[in-house]
Each structure stands twice: as C-alpha cells, then as structure tokens.
Chains A and B, each alone.
Chain A
Amino acid sequence: MNLIAKAAAAILAGSLVAGAAQAKTLVYCSEGSPEGFDPALYTAGTTFDASSHPVYNQLVEFVTGSTEIQPGLAERWEVSEDGLEYTFHLRQGVKFHANDQFTPTRDFNADDVIFTFERQWKDDNPMHTASGGTWEYFQGMSMPDLLKSIEKVDDYTVKFVLNRPEAPMIANLAMDFASIVSKEYADAMLAAGTPEMLNQAPIGTGPFSFVGYQKDAVIRYAANPDYWKGASPLDSLVFAITPDASVRYQKLKAGECHVMPYPNPADIEAMKADEDIELLQQQGLNVGYLAYSTQVAPFDNPKVRKALNMAMDKQAIIDVVFQGAGEIAKNPIPPTIWSYNDAVEDDAYDPEAAKKMLEEEGVADLSMKIWAMPVQRPYNPNARRMAELIQADFAKVGVTVEIVSYEWGEYLQRSKEVDRDGAVLLGWTGDNGDPDNFLAVLLGCDAVGGSNRAQWCDEEFDALIQKAKVTSDVAERTKLYEEAQVRFKDQAPWATIAHSTVFMPVRPEVEGYKVHPLGGHIFYGVDLAE
C-alpha cells in the first residue's frame, strides 16, 4: 500500500471512529460501478461521477448546480470575429496529483491540453490505440469534423481552429470527455508498458485524488491539498457501490452513507416525512417524447399530429408513470436550459376537440403502432405503462393503438428508419446544457434517418437552428431558439410528454450539496456539519 493510501486509511479510520472530530469523510452510496477512470473512454454518468468530477478539470467548467459556463483550467478565452478561432489562456501553477508510480515534475501546461485532445483525435498519437478505447463522446459530439487544428501558442496559450463556426464549442469543452489529463503521466506509463494505468489509476488536477478502487465495492479518494480552487473542506471521499435503490435508502437511514442518488419513486413520500433525511430536488435536463413518423400518411399532416397531442392526458402519465416525479413538457427542451420559451402554450387535453379535428382532416378508423422502449430511463421510467395510457387515451378519439417493442439495440436501430411504421417513445438527456444539443441533434434536417426519430425536416425550423449554431452572441441565439420552439409547437412532430424530476436524499449533516442539472454528482464544496 502506498503512502497516500495509508494516510487515507488513517483518515478514514479516524473519522468514522472518532465521530468526525478531526477528519471528515463523506460516504456516497453510488448506484453502480464505473467502467473505468478515463472519462474520455466512456459515456455513462456513473463513470463520470467517479472520474471526471472528483479527479479532473476541464478548460471551462459548468457552475455546479447550473448549465452556466465558468473558467476552469483556462483563466479566460477569446473567440475570433469569424467564430473559427478559440484562444485559451491557461491557468499557471496548477499541480497534477501523484501516485506511487508517478510524481509530476512540472505544472499543468499547453502540452497537456494538446495531448488530451490529440489522443482522442489523431490515429498517430500513441495513446489513441494503446488505451483500447473508441473515444465515443469525442466522436459523438462531431469533434473530428469540427477541429481543424490545435496549436500551442506558448506554454500557457492554446489555440483551437475550427472548420466551421460552432457556437456550442465552449459548452463541448466543458464536457467530461474534455477532462485534461497529464501528458507526462501518459508518457511515463507508455514507457513502462502500462498505458492502461491512465484508465485504472487516474492522475488529474481535480479536488480529489484517486486512492484506490476495490472492484464493485468501494472507491476511495483523498482531498487534494494543493487544489487550485482551494482544498475541499472534506478530508476524504468514499463511494460505497450499492446497486439496489431500497438498500441505498436503508444505508442512508442507518447512517452508513451521507448522500444517495436515484431513490425509488415509491420511497419519495417516506423520505419527505423522514427527519433523518433531507430531500433535495431539481428538474432533470431531459425530455421524454412520442415521435410521430412524419413522412408517413396521415402523420405527415401537422393537424393530425396536433389532434393526437390533444387526445393525450399528460397529467395522468405524470401521476402514474412518474409517480409525481416529473412535470409536463411543452417544449422540446427542459426549462433548465437557457432560451426555454415559457410563452409557448401546450396543446390542452381535449378529447372532444381532438376527435372533431381528426374528422375535419378526413381521418377515420385510424390504427397505428406505438413503440415502447424496453429499458428504463429517467425521462421514461416505464415506457410500456406509458404506451398503455396513451393507447387508452387514443381509443377515446377513435384511434386504435397496437403497442410494439424490440430489444434495445434493435429498437434504436429500427426507429431510425425514415418510413417507419408507428410513433416512437424515446427521450434525451442533455450533454452540455446547450439548446443546440437538443434542437439540432433531435429535430434538425441533418439528423433525419438518425437521431431525428420524427424524421421531420422543416425548412423554417432548420434555418433558425442553423443560424443559431453559428451565432456567438447569446442574446441573439436565445431569440432564434425561442422562435424555433414556437415553430416546433405549431408543427407538432412530437408529443412532448415529460421532464423528470431528480431527487437527491442527503443526511441533514451534509452542507452545500447542490443537485447538478447535467446529472453529475459533485462533492467539491460540500461539507459535513460537526
């Protein structure tokens, strides 16, 4: 066992035995095991909770508890007039962590930034293949198409040159895959023939340094005393991996952990009444929807889609499927995202009017398929049940619904077909808090046949979001997205169903914990009352 591990063990033993008199350890009952500790290799939130959030920093970062961007390892940045060049001025004096195989000899600098992105981007970077990864998020955010070059101006200045203007670029750089890794550490591990150590024993600049991981059981971190934002009030952080939600609840009650994610909806009422538990909550950064197949008659008629939307009792869905832990969605983006247009009015639930509207459009004896996802997601905890409720609602306006489902991989694949038979239940959880990440990804013309499950390409809507994508002025972008939401509502390619509510039960002694809208669980800035 190395020195840090020994120190952390002593701290842990001290804190739990002596009732946190000298040392403070926060125990987080996490819901699953991380796939690894290199955030660029994975896309799961559970992995980011254990890697990018405690151990790493990005050039720019989200303010905890919001989707706003603040400086991270870059103190400031400039964007050129044409929106093609981003120049970052790096923070000086930032130290990387050490472990028993590696002690950094220099501070963080431009080489680390360039290495971080080139290992994901360039085939000839030795870590590109050595890590065995597929760099899914880097690819998924279209970074290879977007980046023209990354240049080192000097040790503390880096310039990103893009192939086309892209306003969400800054938000992309705040994402987990953009966590800055140590080039020096990677070089040392490559030389030692153990490149996998980057994924197993991470070295970052973040508020906590990695101490050890006992597979599927416990992850331990120690506070980084040299952290550039100031050391955490906690001395150490422990993840006790507890996959079952009921068991997490029992552990929280018994004081075996301080914070737990993802409670069972059925336990929420009991938690609210429990004096030993404080229940924090926030709207999730997600949307659950029913996407019509808009290139297939009669769903190519916006009025038919609108009539069906009016036939849907969304409140009943919130009550039954979300058990109250959600709210009705009227826009394709959640209210926590900037540019959310609150002036848009939802199609009111009115089966009578819906029936009349369908008759006016000459639609009689309509039968359709509704696809129900085979998996649970925050934006849709029970798709089968949701489909049954919609089936009953549509029956009231004379529409017969057949519910179908496929294995998840098949479902994702088949639902992309342009002439698909039926409306698809699906949803989206935001990656970077940018409206483009919902509107262009899910509803843009480019995404037809892909993630645009409504197969909806509307010139007016697409012009608005394309213009917003290349505009760097936030006020102007906001206006464009607000207009796009009005057009969306008018054309109704989806029935927008719900945004989930995220609940976080914590012990009363936990101070300063903020529920993060992007879904991460972040413990820097959290303290435990004596």
Chain B
Amino acid sequence: MLKFLLSRLLTFLPTFFGVTLISFAFIRALPGDPIIVMAGERGITEERHAELVRQFGFDRPIWEQYLDYLWGVMQGDLGQSFVTKKPVWDEFFALFPATLELSVCAMAFAVLLGLPAGVIAAVNRGKFFDRALMSTALVGYSMPIFWWALLLIIVVSGWLQWTPVSGRISLMFFFPQPTGFMLIDSLISGEKGAFASAVQHLILPTVVLGTIPLAVIARQTRSAMLEVLSEDYIRTARAKGLGPFGINGVHALRNALIPVVTVIGLSVGTLLAGAILTETIFSWPGIGKWMVDSIFRRDYPAVQGGLLLIAVIVMIVNLTVDVVYGFINPRIRKG
C-alpha cells in the first residue's frame, strides 16, 4: 500500500511543475496588454505605459519572471493581485470555502439520488421506470446551466416563493465566519434561524450544480449494474436464495462501484467548471466567478495562482480516488 501511495505521489510532482508552467503561460498567451485593458477608452501615454511596465516587472525576460514566480510558489507566495492589491493566497482561500461547500452539497445531492436511481433503473431494465429515469437523466445532462438556474429561480423563488433568489444567507444575519462554511458558521453563531436560512439559500444552487453529475452518475450506475447483474456469481447468489437487497445492494452494487467512483472523481472537474456559471447566477461568492473576473481584468497573479490552486485540488482529489479504488478493489492496489 505504501509503495502504491509513493508511486502516485511521484507522478504528482512533475504534474505540479507542469501546471505552474501552463498557468503562467496561459494568461500571458491571451492577447491583450493588461495595462491597456486597465486604461480602457481613456487610453494611456507611452511614457506612462513604459513606467507601468517597469513597475509590474513586465520588462524583464519572461524566463526570469517565471523563475521568480516559481520561487514564490515554492515558498507559498502566489503574489499579489494587480486589482485588489491583496495576496492571491488570501483572496483564494477567502472564497474557496463557498465553492467547496456548494460543490460538496451538489455532489452529495448527485450521489444520494443518482446511485439509487441507477440501481433501480438497472433492476427494472426496459420497464417504464427505467425509460422514464434515463430520459430524464438525458435531459438533465443536456440542460444549459444558466437556463436551468433562471427557470428554477423564476418558478421556485418567484412564483412559489419557497426559497430566496440568491446569496448565501439572509442579509439580516451578520456574524463572524471563522470557517467560511456558511452551514457551520451559522450553527456556531448561535443566531436563531441562521442555519435554516443558510440551508434555504443552498437548495437551488445545489440542485443546479448537481444536475449534470446526477445524470452522469445515474446513467453510469445503471450500466455498471447491468454488466455486473449478468455475472455468474450473481446467478449463484440468486440460486442460493438471497433476497433482492442482498443481491443488488451487497453483491452487485459493490462491484459496480468502481466505474462509478471514477465518474465521481472526474465530476470534480465538471463541478468546478459548472461553479463558474452557478456562482455568477446565484451571486455565490466563490472562486469560479473570481477566476472569470480576474481573466477579464488580465490580473496575471490572480489567474496563475488561482489556476495552480484549482489544479492542485483536482490532483489531490484524483489521488484520493486512486487510493479509494485500492480499497474497493485489491487488484488495483497490487497491480
């Protein structure tokens, strides 16, 4: 097991350096001089432009800028945002809990509904329930996020008035947020109704962000289950007289889980991408919206730092998924 972990960690390092290079190069490869974009229609004189180029250090050779950046990264310093003048690290981790909270809820929503739906569809293969579920999943998978979000806001918040339109918590609550996770902070605050308000605000964004992973997980679970259900050992289990729960829940599902866990791992990327739109629509103060704003403002340190941190997080999740595989399936661990 240790050897397995070490080998995984070794692949981690080159990927990490690759990501620093790509994130550094990506924003510089975009057309558009950040200083000219900043000046806008007002424009800027050539002398002033040259002065700012010096001030931002853009006049130095590109490799020198990269090494400087890399040196900073090694020391945990991602630089300072051009726009807000705050350290990128602080900016990112002030917003990241909001994204993480939303992503975890969306993933929980997708798994808790998607797994049973997939199992039930597989067991009832070809019947009405299976077809209805799989067509719904296809619709869910193809739904544009912004459209789905606005539809839910208009119907659920506007007409039915069941949930608030946007934000993380009602504006009447104003308490310190030591963890940045609104569900936890609202509980700690001890203010009456705060937790309920945080939950209400989470419902629509969770549904919107969780819809695509839900559809993918349901479909993946169904096809993995179908494959497993035709295996010999399932027939044996049936012959032994095991009940449907024993067969489907214990024997089949556990073996069907491997491809499903892969999909869940891959969905983390999808979630972070979906978070950009979801966060913008629901005024959710997370990193998705921050990254987009930073790209438009050509805020080099924020974009390269943000990309790097997101990549590292995705890498850690993938590493965890690999380890989880090992637990579910000993063949991978030893192979």
A-B contact number at CB 8 A: 147
Among A216-268, those with CB < 8 Å from B are: 216-218, 220, 238, 240-244, 246-247, 250-251, 253-254, 256
In the bound complex, do residue B283 and residue A8 qualify as a contact, i.e. CB atoms below 8 Å apart?
Answer: no
In the bound complex, do residue A43 and residue B40 qualify as a contact, i.e. CB atoms below 8 Å apart?
Answer: yes
In the bound complex, do residue B172 and residue A243 qualify as a contact, i.e. CB atoms below 8 Å apart?
Answer: no
Contact status of A243 and B55, CB under 8 A, knowing A217-B168, A408-B37: no
In the bound complex, do residue A199 and residue B166 qualify as a contact, i.e. CB atoms below 8 Å apart?
Answer: no
CA distance in complex: A276, B316 (Å): 50
CA distance in complex: A238, B174 (Å): 11
Q: Would you call A106 an interface residue if the criterion is a C-beta within 8 Å of the partner chain's C-beta atoms?
A: no
Among B61-104, those with CB < 8 Å from A are: 80, 83-86, 91, 94-95
Q: Would you call A362 an interface residue if the criterion is a C-beta within 8 Å of the partner chain's C-beta atoms?
A: no
Chain B residues with Cβ below 8 Å from A33 are: 293
CA distance in complex: A36, B83 (Å): 8
Classify the interface of chain A: helix, strand, loop or mixed. mixed
Q: Would you call A410 an interface residue if the criterion is a C-beta within 8 Å of the partner chain's C-beta atoms?
A: yes
Of the four ranges (under 10, 10 to 19, 20 to 34, 35 or more), the interface on chain B belongs to: 35 or more
Considering the complex, give the chain A residue whose CB is closest to the CB of B289.
Answer: A216
Chain A residues with Cβ below 8 Å from B34 are: 409
> Nearest chain A CB to B185's CB is how many angstroms away?
11
In the bound complex, do residue B165 and residue A250 qualify as a contact, i.e. CB atoms below 8 Å apart?
Answer: yes
Q: Would you call A202 an interface residue if the criterion is a C-beta within 8 Å of the partner chain's C-beta atoms?
A: no
Stretch at the interface among A52-60, A130-138, A150-158, A310-318: A130-138
> Nearest chain B CB to A83's CB is how many angstroms away?
25
Q: Would you call B290 an interface residue if the criterion is a C-beta within 8 Å of the partner chain's C-beta atoms?
A: yes
Chain B proximity mask over A186-201: 1 for CB below 8 Å, otherwise 0? 0000000000100110
Chain A residues with Cβ below 8 Å from B158 are: 250, 253-254
Q: Would you call A139 an interface residue if the criterion is a C-beta within 8 Å of the partner chain's C-beta atoms?
A: yes
CA distance in complex: A14, B42 (Å): 45
CA distance in complex: A426, B43 (Å): 13
Which residue of the partner chain, among A13, A241, A427, contacts B172 with CB atoms under 8 Å?
A13
> Nearest chain A CB to B107's CB is how many angstroms away?
22
Q: Would you call B231 an interface residue if the criterion is a C-beta within 8 Å of the partner chain's C-beta atoms?
A: no
Among A19-43, those with CB < 8 Å from B are: 25, 27, 32-33, 35-36, 41, 43
Of the listed residues A13, A33, A412, A413, the one surrounded by the most CB atoms of chain B closer than 10 A to its CB is A412
In the bound complex, do residue A8 and residue B165 qualify as a contact, i.e. CB atoms below 8 Å apart?
Answer: no
In the bound complex, do residue B38 and residue A246 qualify as a contact, i.e. CB atoms below 8 Å apart?
Answer: no
> Nearest chain A CB to B195's CB is how many angstroms away?
15
In the bound complex, do residue B95 and residue A136 qualify as a contact, i.e. CB atoms below 8 Å apart?
Answer: no
Among B169-224, those with CB < 8 Å from A are: 170-177
Of the four ranges (under 10, 10 to 19, 20 to 34, 35 or more), the interface on chain A belongs to: 35 or more
In the bound complex, do residue B41 and residue A36 qualify as a contact, i.e. CB atoms below 8 Å apart?
Answer: no
CA distance in complex: A48, B154 (Å): 31
Of the listed residues B43, B285, B293, the one surrounded by the most CB atoms of chain A closer than 10 A to its CB is B43
Which residue of the partner chain, among B41, B52, B170, B172, contacts A134 with CB atoms under 8 Å?
B52
CA distance in complex: A256, B52 (Å): 42
CA distance in complex: A137, B277 (Å): 32
> Nearest chain A CB to B42's CB is how many angstroms away?
5
Q: Would you call B31 an interface residue if the criterion is a C-beta within 8 Å of the partner chain's C-beta atoms?
A: yes
CA distance in complex: A246, B154 (Å): 9
CA distance in complex: A199, B32 (Å): 27
> Nearest chain A CB to B121's CB is how many angstroms away?
34
Chain B proximity mask over A202-226: 1 for CB below 8 Å, otherwise 0? 0000000000101111101000000
Which residue of the partner chain, among B31, B40, B85, B165, contacts A254 with CB atoms under 8 Å?
B165
Contact status of A247 and B32, CB under 8 A, knowing A253-B158, A412-B40, A451-B42: no
Chain B residues with Cβ below 8 Å from A43 are: 38, 40, 42
> Nearest chain A CB to B88's CB is how many angstroms away?
13
In the bound complex, do residue B36 and residue A243 qualify as a contact, i.e. CB atoms below 8 Å apart?
Answer: no
Classify the interface of chain B: helix, strand, loop or mixed. loop
Which residue of the partner chain, among B172, B282, B283, B293, contacts A12 with CB atoms under 8 Å?
B172
In the bound complex, do residue A407 and residue B31 qualify as a contact, i.e. CB atoms below 8 Å apart?
Answer: yes
In the bound complex, do residue A215 and residue B171 qualify as a contact, i.e. CB atoms below 8 Å apart?
Answer: no
Considering the complex, give the chain B residue whose CB is closest to the CB of A211.
Answer: B174
Contact status of A133 and B85, CB under 8 A, knowing A43-B42, A220-B174, A412-B36: yes
Contact status of A216 and B285, CB under 8 A, knowing A247-B165, A251-B165, A409-B31: yes
Chain B residues with Cβ below 8 Å from A9 are: 174-175
In the bound complex, do residue B280 and residue A244 qualify as a contact, i.e. CB atoms below 8 Å apart?
Answer: yes
Considering the complex, give the chain A residue whose CB is closest to the CB of B177.
Answer: A214
Chain A residues with Cβ below 8 Å from B94 are: 215
Considering the complex, give the chain A residue whose CB is closest to the CB of B158.
Answer: A250
Considering the complex, give the chain B residue whose CB is closest to the CB of A413.
Answer: B36
Contact status of A8 and B153, CB under 8 A, knowing A247-B283, A407-B31: no
In the bound complex, do residue B283 and residue A217 qualify as a contact, i.e. CB atoms below 8 Å apart?
Answer: yes
In the bound complex, do residue B172 and residue A17 qualify as a contact, i.e. CB atoms below 8 Å apart?
Answer: yes
Chain B residues with Cβ below 8 Å from A215 are: 91, 94-95, 285
Chain A residues with Cβ below 8 Å from B313 are: none
Q: Would you call B306 an interface residue if the criterion is a C-beta within 8 Å of the partner chain's C-beta atoms?
A: no
CA distance in complex: A13, B84 (Å): 30
Q: Would you call A384 an interface residue if the criterion is a C-beta within 8 Å of the partner chain's C-beta atoms?
A: no
Which residue of the partner chain, among A132, A254, A429, contacts B161 with CB atoms under 8 Å?
A254
Among A437-493, those with CB < 8 Å from B are: 450-451
In the bound complex, do residue B52 and residue A216 qualify as a contact, i.e. CB atoms below 8 Å apart?
Answer: no
Considering the complex, give the chain B residue whose CB is closest to the CB of A13.
Answer: B172
CA distance in complex: A27, B31 (Å): 39
Q: Would you call A98 an interface residue if the criterion is a C-beta within 8 Å of the partner chain's C-beta atoms?
A: no
CA distance in complex: A410, B174 (Å): 44
Q: Would you call A306 an interface residue if the criterion is a C-beta within 8 Å of the partner chain's C-beta atoms?
A: no
Which residue of the partner chain, among A139, A214, A409, A412, contacts B48 with CB atoms under 8 Å?
A139
Contact status of A247 and B85, CB under 8 A, knowing A254-B161, A412-B40, A416-B43: no
Considering the complex, give the chain A residue whose CB is closest to the CB of B87.
Answer: A196
> Nearest chain B CB to A211's CB is how many angstroms away?
9
CA distance in complex: A244, B30 (Å): 25
Chain B residues with Cβ below 8 Å from A15 are: 172
In the bound complex, do residue B154 and residue A250 qualify as a contact, i.e. CB atoms below 8 Å apart?
Answer: yes
Q: Would you call B318 an interface residue if the criterion is a C-beta within 8 Å of the partner chain's C-beta atoms?
A: no
Considering the complex, give the chain A residue whose CB is closest to the CB of B41.
Answer: A428
In the bound complex, do residue B171 and residue A218 qualify as a contact, i.e. CB atoms below 8 Å apart?
Answer: yes
Q: Would you call A16 an interface residue if the criterion is a C-beta within 8 Å of the partner chain's C-beta atoms?
A: yes
Among A401-429, those with CB < 8 Å from B are: 406-410, 412-413, 416, 426-429
CA distance in complex: A401, B80 (Å): 45
CA distance in complex: A241, B170 (Å): 13
> Nearest chain B CB to A129's CB is how many angstroms away?
9
In the bound complex, do residue B85 and residue A199 qualify as a contact, i.e. CB atoms below 8 Å apart?
Answer: yes
Chain B residues with Cβ below 8 Å from A134 are: 38, 52, 55
CA distance in complex: A218, B158 (Å): 22
Contact status of A16 and B170, CB under 8 A, knowing A253-B158, A256-B165, A409-B32: yes
Contact status of A216 and B165, CB under 8 A, knowing A196-B86, A413-B36: no
In the bound complex, do residue B174 and residue A451 qualify as a contact, i.e. CB atoms below 8 Å apart?
Answer: no
Could you list which residues of chain B lie within 8 angstroms of chain A, going by C-beta atoms? Answer: 30-34, 36-45, 48, 52, 55, 80, 83-86, 91, 94-95, 150, 153-154, 157-158, 161, 164-168, 170-177, 280-283, 285-286, 289-290, 293, 298
Please provide the 7 A-B residue pairs with the shortest distance between their CB atoms, ordered closest to farther: A409-B32, A216-B285, A9-B174, A217-B285, A16-B172, A407-B31, A132-B85
16 contacts between A and B (CB under 8 A): A33-B293, A132-B85, A134-B55, A214-B285, A215-B94, A216-B283, A217-B283, A220-B174, A240-B171, A244-B283, A247-B150, A247-B281, A250-B154, A256-B165, A412-B40, A413-B36
